[in-house]
Amino acid sequence: MDNLKHHRKGFDTMVEALNDLAARGYSGNLKLREHYLEEEEKQLMLYPEHFKVVETYRFEGMSDPEDNSIIYAIESLDGTFKGVLVNAYGAYAERASSDMIRALEIDHYH
């Protein structure tokens, strides 16, 4: 995706990044499922063909490499939803289909 922005701003913490995204309308809290992203409160399911990743932010744990995380700012293609997905590096591999991995562009973070 040409419009994907990595580390749009230099945030020191995940909380700062999440607060900035929330202030810009990214209010949905997405969960990664095998074939789609889910926002439980709105009972919304976004399949790979229905969303785009517009920004990503990576954070590395200070003491434990297992604490590495990535934040995805996600928008529905129809423009009706903006949300975030927070995931640990590598944790998606066993839970996400290949279509989801491609949609999130997470396979290039290995």
Grade residue 19 by pLDDT with cuts at 50, 70 and 90: very high
Residue 92 confidence (pLDDT) = 54
pTM: 0.80
In the chain, helix, strand, coil percent, each to 5?
A: 25, 35, 45
Closest alpha carbon to 30 in 79, 94, 74: 74
Q: Which amino acid is at 52?
A: K
pLDDT (tens digit, 9 = 90+) per residue, 40-78?
A: 998 999 999 999 999 999 887 665 555 678 899 999 999
Residue 10 confidence (pLDDT) = 76
Whether the per-residue pLDDT at 9 is higher than 80: the answer is: no
